[in-house]
Structure 1
Amino acid sequence: MAAEGAGDVQRGRPRIQESADRIVASVLATAGPRVGTREFSTRRVAELTGLSQTLVSRAFRRIRGGAGGVVTVAGEEVPLRLKEMEVTFPSIRLVFEPVPAVSQRVGPTAFSRRAAALMAALWVSGAAEWTDPEAPAARRVEFSGTGPREGAVPANSTHLGEGGAPTGSLSVRWRPGERPWEEFLAEAAALLDRCAAVADAIPGELLRLLAARAGRGLHGVSWAREESAEKTAIVSDSDAALAVAEYPPPGRAPQNPWLPKVELSVTEQIAIALRKEIMDSGYRAGDRITPGPLAATLGLGVGTVRSAMRRLADDGLLASAEGGFSVPAVTGADVIDLYAARLHVGMVLLRGCATAPRHRLLPVRLALGAVEAAAAEGTLTDVGQADLQFQQELAEAAGLEQSARSFHALTLRVRMFISVLQLDYTPAVDRIVGDDRRILSAVLEGRAEDAVRTWRSKLDHAVRHMSALAPESFDADLWSRLSR
């Protein structure tokens, strides 16, 4: 079981455990506030990933780090809570503050998992690979309130105000060139050890934000206890694209293979921005779109955007005429053609998924969770986008590179069609969730043909729904011929 769950790694216990650590870190980093529930016990995570419970338990401990303990003053415990977290390339900063009173404890196990989720987000951020040649001289843990000082803070150190209440704050920062990454993780874990075992010490809104950013290197995380209501809104797909665009490509770590794929090319980012502009502005087929506003929105040069728009036009995602661009027309035949292609490529990919190692399907399981969350709490647009992401994760998990690449190109086209046609997913939400659950269940159990049958039914409903909004009536005979 351990060797199966670890995936394609070299033989030997250390390499198996390292692989298990990365898999479990991906699960914890994307768990959000539910990480403290039984759903994320070591047994359930073992079932989710296909790893042995021994490997998972060891991974929990290694990710969590720390050695226990709290700040003490005159022999009395002075617990901490997280006050701020900010990721501004190439720097990560965590700020903790003492709290005078503790109530509503959540239990050591539940709190430990919340702390592990925060540490896991750091693990999968790729920050260990950041480079900053101009980093200043090393500064380890800073103590604010009476002014910064060099060196690590002793475990029994804090400041007291009137009435013996603790004041000031403890912070730990990572910046390339200042200290080893492992040292930063150890000090962050030590400060988490000092936190009160209450949910508010690591708020759920921060865990939710980290889960949303885990696949994006945590870029853009800016949370402060005083301003949490303003800073923790989950970003839209266009905002996510901008975050990736702002990230400097040199020195970044490779994408974690067990996190959902969110790396976007410039062309894909422009496609996302185009979809948003089409939806926000109510554009219809034939309306002209110029590169200038998009360039300003994305912070890119007009020439770069125009070049990417030409590529989108080559792929049929934009119409091009007389050197300009416009929203393409979408006919019923276009919709049927597109969905027939996705149907057949998807069938190949699902058969590949049914024979893939279980750990390779972890991003698919996480993506299904995003679909369920969007159905329960998100907007109708969120459900549609999460469903497409779930489908793309299935494509990636199959291990069939050419088919996955073709499917991705078709998905970009579907996203544009959805924007042009202003699709309403209200009638389809429950069916989308149910179909996705059945597909994943069949794939996990190796029932490839059951997955294919559900996929065929899913796309049949989708093409009929989309075609109903196209300018032409739905050609049932054409769809029947192409979808056999």
Structure 2
Amino acid sequence: MSDPQLEDLSRDVDEAVRRRARLVQDVLSSGPARAAREHGVTRQTAAKWAQRYRTGGAAQLSRPAGRRRTTQELRRAALTAPLWMPTTKWSTRSIADALGVSQSFVARAWEAMRSGTALSDDLTGAMTGRQPAVLGLLVTSEHAVLAFQLTPVTRREDPAPPARVGPAVQRVLRTVLASDLVRREVPATRPADVTPFWDEVLDAADPDATLMAIGSDAAPMPAEVSVQGVCRDVGEWLALFPLFVEWGPLLSPAAALQLENELRTWARTPRRAFTWVRPTTPAGESRGPAARAAVRHLGPERALADEIVVTIRQGIAEGRLAAGDRVTERYLAGRLRTTRAQVRTAMRLLERDGLLTITTGHAAVVPVLTTNDVVETYAARRALGTLVIRAAVRWSPQERQSVEDALDALERCASTGDAHRTGEADIAFQNALAEASGLVRIAPMLEILADHLRMFIAVMGLDYAYPIDAMLRDDRAIFEAIDAGDGEVAAERWRVKIDEAATYMLGQLSAGRSRPTGRS
């Protein structure tokens, strides 16, 4: 069973702790040699931290109790806070509380984001008679690059005042600039890995627009990018913030929210370069992963709701919570360093999805698993998954690669012999299939049902350990059938997989009820 404390540390405030936890996770799933290559450390370092974890648990990866974080470490944590805070509705106060510093310390750390530079002046000159809009963001191990299009603006005798940039978009801009500070955690990026990004940027640009790109460091750019800016250091990169605010709304609210959610998700485990390109078609019409993410992750409340589910599952795994227990808003707000009002809104989303039941007294009840819950959930996944798989036969090369990556991750987890970790990878594979289908309404439904399965498995605990070889066998067969263009064979393999999984869970649920729980 995977260690929930290790999962917690992979999202820790302390960057060093996060890196150790992620390194150990990869050592356990793929071995020290491969993990060392992906994290840019020696094999001895990877083996050392894995051994400390095996002998002393997750606590061995935390900062020593007697060692205080340096001012530089705290400043870096404040600058990267938009990426690791549990909710996007952060403030200087909530960041200060999370770090144990004053609000004025956070404000001083952000001073670099309040003054212009020589590069800002040059870029302002390039804006004359043009309106900028963000086309895409690329973050590799070597640099971060923001791509823009500059559209000619028709002169008016009585020009309208520039549109104001709202607080939500300003938070997104800070998140974008913070991404450069975590790029050293990204494995080495090959030039071929970023070619698709530039191809998508060129496709997304308007025909009459001028292309501009700003890099946090020197970066190769295609010839079509006629206006280029390169920052001398991280301070100059962060100092772009007031310039971007002055330029007006660079992103629509929907695109900004989409970019923020994808960037924060990536920053938790930045195992590859990050790429995001503005959708070229209206929401719900694109087959790209960005459009689908906007359907599932509708806002900061949804992101916080996902964190609440994870927190409850971890509480169950650690024995602090059990089926039927009440979880209060106060407890969750304290664990997630956010407000009770935000927790309340997120809990309503979870109640709507059927993951929690809200009771009087501002609390939720941990689900008590029933036979009907299992039957209904698996029946829904069986039907919706069949539609997804038939649609996935038309996947694009990029979508196929994302599914193959998920299958590779499943095989690495299977090699460890950890049934629970492999089960999580199996669900991730199924979600990757859903995203590759292009069904923008059905895919999010399957993701919500996957959250139900995770909650069921957490409640069942050690009673549930679905056979690893069955997961591998079924997922390989489904992938190979889709890859061969045979949607009917793939759909039949899916139905067999779901039926067998439902039968197993019902059997374990029945067996678990016939034994004493051991809980007083």
With structure 2 as the length reference, what TM-score do the two structures score?
A: 0.45
